[in-house]
Amino acid sequence: MKEMLAAFAAVAVLAVPATAVPAVGRSAPNFKLADANGKPVMLSDFRGRTVVLEWNNPGCPFVQKHYESGNMQKAQAAAARDGAVWLSINSGAPGKQGHMSGAEAKAFVAKAGARPTAYLLDPRGVVGKAYEAKTTPHMYIINKAGTLVYAGGIDDKPTRNASDINGARNHVLAALAEMKAGKGVSVATSRPYGCAVKYGDS
């Protein structure tokens, strides 16, 4: 059992130098995390495909806004139709709001009808801190060449009110559409909003 736990812990380690900065226009830091089934997943596994990163905390009212309305699931499905990879990442530390075991993560995904390619567990916050993820949700888009092309909020309505989703500009879907059309991302950064990521030292 101790060997299994040690092996799992070894998976959740960032595979890039600590000095890497997740700046738009630069290469996205590679990482390796365990998914909800305990399987190791590396960002580099998806080189050549567009990747969306979504920081997730099911206990956060802002996350609930987008999941209970079905908005996040619709975005995930739209991204999948265009061949994009969607990785939901939970950086909640043990004992903090939103922290989940693999079984709890799988139950959340099933109950919510979520459509991520994988739900990844980052309990030590190594990847979250490397990407400077501040809120849940906090969104990032990486293009096929491995370059970070968007970082920020999911849309331009930073509230907990689901009625504000209608009429909001979904920055993620807009960026994916522009990329599909061969255009540059017109809004490459925006202010992320939501609950603070519950790191172990916060």
The model's pLDDT over 38-57, given as tens digits with 9 standing for 90+, comes to: 999 999 999 999 999 999 99
187 within some domain: yes
129 within some domain: yes
The pTM (predicted TM-score) of the whole model is 0.90
Provide the pLDDT for residue 127: 97
184 within some domain: yes
201 within some domain: no
Going by pLDDT thresholds of 50, 70 and 90, the confidence category of residue 13 is: very low
CA distance 19 to 101: 29
202 within some domain: no
Q: Encode pLDDT of 136-189 as tens digits.
A: 999 999 999 999 999 999 999 999 999 999 999 999 999 999 999 999 999 999
Provide the pLDDT for residue 47: 93
157 within some domain: yes
Q: Encode pLDDT of 97-134 as tens digits.
A: 999 999 999 999 999 999 999 999 999 999 999 999 99
130 within some domain: yes
Number of domains in the chain: 1
Q: Encode pLDDT of 74-104 as tens digits.
A: 999 999 999 999 999 999 999 999 999 999 9
Domain hosting 61: range is 2-14+24-196
Q: Encode pLDDT of 58-69 as tens digits.
A: 999 999 999 999
Decide if pLDDT at 37 tops 80.
yes
Per DSSP, helices labelled H in 12-130 are 61-68, 71-81, 102-112, 126-130
Three-state SS annotation for 131-178: CCCCEECCEEEECCCCEEEEEECCECCCCCCHHHCCCCCEHHHHHHHH
Question: What angle is formed at CA 45 by the lines to CA 122 and CA 200, rounded to 5 degrees?
Answer: 10
Residues in the chain: 202
Provide the pLDDT for residue 9: 39
Q: Which residues share a beta bridge with 86?
A: 52
175 within some domain: yes
CATH, residue 94: 3.40.30.10
Provide the pLDDT for residue 201: 77
